[in-house]
Amino acid sequence: MHQTTYSVPGMSCEHCRHAITSELAHVAGIDTIGVDLATKHVTITGAGFDSGAVIAAIDEAGYEVAGTISQGAGAHGDATGMVR
Ligand SMILES: [Cu+2]
């Protein structure tokens, strides 16, 4: 099981959440998609998703991935300096 959190500063509302989750639904290997509008983080878990495909899907939805916040099992908070 992999977990990766991406920073997507352009997200702001439920429309953004819906647009991103519906694009990510087409990416293979994803189990769960977590969109946190407060922190602007998208957290993906799954057994074998391709990070490039995730970033491409978010881009397809109309949002830019500013960076990868964390990778692996346990998330830790080093994402205080968000780019906007
Ligand atoms: Cu929105």
Ligand 1 centroid–CA 39 distance in Å is 14
Contacts of 30 (CB under 8 A, 6+ apart): 24, 44, 45, 46, 49, 54
> pLDDT tens digits, residue range 24-45?
999 999 999 999 999 999 999 9
Ligand 1 centroid–CA 49 distance in Å is 25
**Alpha-helical segments (H) within 1-84:** 14-24, 51-60
Ligand 1 centroid–CA 19 distance in Å is 8
pLDDT at 14: 97
Ligand 1 centroid–CA 10 distance in Å is 8
Which domains can be identified in the chain, with CATH numbers? Answer: 2-71 (3.30.70.100)
Ligand 1 centroid–CA 20 distance in Å is 10
pLDDT at 72: 75
